[in-house]
Every structure is written in C-alpha cells, then in structure tokens.
Amino acid sequence: MVVNKRAGDLVQGDHTGDLPLGEYIKSFIKKRDHKPGAVYLGVPHRLDRPTTGLVVYAKSSKALPRLNKLFAEKQAKKTYWAIVKHAPQNPSGELIHYLVRNTKQNKSYAHIKPVGDSKLASLSYKTLVKLDNYTLLEIDLHTGRHHQIRAQLAALGSPIKGDLKYGFDRSNPDGSISLHARSLAFIHPVQQKPLMITAPVPKDSLWQAFAQVLQTD
C-alpha cells in the first residue's frame, strides 16, 4: 500500500507517543476488507515527520522482507521535490558530502571530506521552476542517509523552506518543511511488474503555484 503522507504524520511511533500513520491505515483496511482479526502492516522505509509525499507499506509478512531488500539494495528510484529560497548557483548538479549524525540533536552535519564516523551521501538535483521568491528543485537520491536532502541542500546554501533545523529563517505556518516525496519507481516484489507512482503536491498556494507552472498535480 502506498500513501501520500501529510506533514505532521508519523510513519513510525516515536518518543512523542502520537499514534503513527500505520495504525490509521490498519483501521481503514480492517473496516474496508471486513477483517475479523488483526491487520498486518510492515514499514520498509521512513519519511521525516514534517515532510509530505509517498510512503510504502507492506500488507503481508511475505512482502515486507522483499521490500526491505529492495530499499536496502537501492532498487527503488526515489524522486523528491524541494522548495528553496536561495537557488543553487548551478541550475543542476551532483552533491557529495560526508554526513555525521548527532542523535541528541536529531540532526546531520555535512562535511566536504570524511570525518570520524561520517557516511558518504550523494544526490543529484536540477531546477524545475524559478518564481519571484522561491525555486523548485527535483532531487534524485543516490544514498539514503538521515536527513540527507535537508543537510546537503543547507550545506549548498539552499535550505528548504520552513526547515528551521537546517537554517531557513522562518517556519511554515503548518509546521511542515517544503520537501515532498514526489515519485517512486520499483518492481512490485510479488507480481514482478514495474510500478511508477506519483504523489500530488500539497494543497497550499505555493505548491499549487509551482504545479500550475508545470501543469501537473
């Protein structure tokens, strides 16, 4: 099952004790399919709480290890959209950093060279649209590190709109950051058929302005 996550929804439970999105999905499946017993739902990957977009769940214990393998071996192509105020100097390019995760701060720091227990982080980006005050970037992840896009764009001097943790000057009214998991392409783990799934952008006016320019949802 693939869900277009809203900002603020938890993919997995955390220290807040808030009910994760998966529990709501289980209730939906139980009601829709008239299931008498417990509903199985596995979580093969995560998406940060303030972000929006595609999240995949496994509906069976058979599908979960296959999806885990698919994500672990980078067989799923993830594409993200990010809104930034300060456009990169180059309209497209590849970013390579070495990220160090600070678990106490729940933050990752990007370095140009390897330091300590840093991990290689790589992504490519391109500019899709430039409006008067903001720019829409498309990002393809080559690695999957903690807060990777947020940390690397901040290191580039282009923090994501609303992302106070990584240097943007003010928050979004709804507490979100303007990072959207736009599309996901992979081979279905059971049917072995190619899937390409796209998530509509949030309904707020800025996202919709970009969508209108691109003439897409």
| pLDDT average, residue stretch 143-171 | 96
CATH number at residue 204: 3.30.2350.10
The pTM for the full model equals 0.92
State the residue for tokens 């959207």. Answer: 180
Residue 22 · residue 57 · CB < 8 Å: yes
Query: In terms of Cα–Cα distance, which of 173, 168, 22, 200 is closest to 83?
Result: 168
Gyration radius from the chain CA atoms? 18
Q: Residue 177's domain spans which residues?
A: 2-214
Pair of tokens at residue 198: 């796209």
Distance, in Å, from the CA atom of 158 to the CA atom of 135, rounded to the nearest integer, reads: 10
The residues that are catalytic are 48
Mean pLDDT of the chain: 92
Structural domain tally of the chain? 1
State residue 18's pLDDT score.
83
Contact 138, 129 (CB under 8 A): no
Per-residue pLDDT at 105 exceeds 90 = yes
In terms of C-beta density within 10 A (0-12 exposed, 13-18 middle, 19 or more buried), how is residue 103 classed?
exposed
What is the mean pLDDT of the segment spanning 108-115? Answer: 95
User: pLDDT (tens digit, 9 = 90+) per residue, 49-89?
Assistant: 999 999 999 988 888 998 898 888 888 899 999 999 999 99
The rounded distance, in Å, linking the Cα atoms of 69 and 75 is 8
Residue 217 confidence (pLDDT): 59
At position 123, the amino acid (one-letter code) is L
pLDDT surpasses 80 at 216 = no
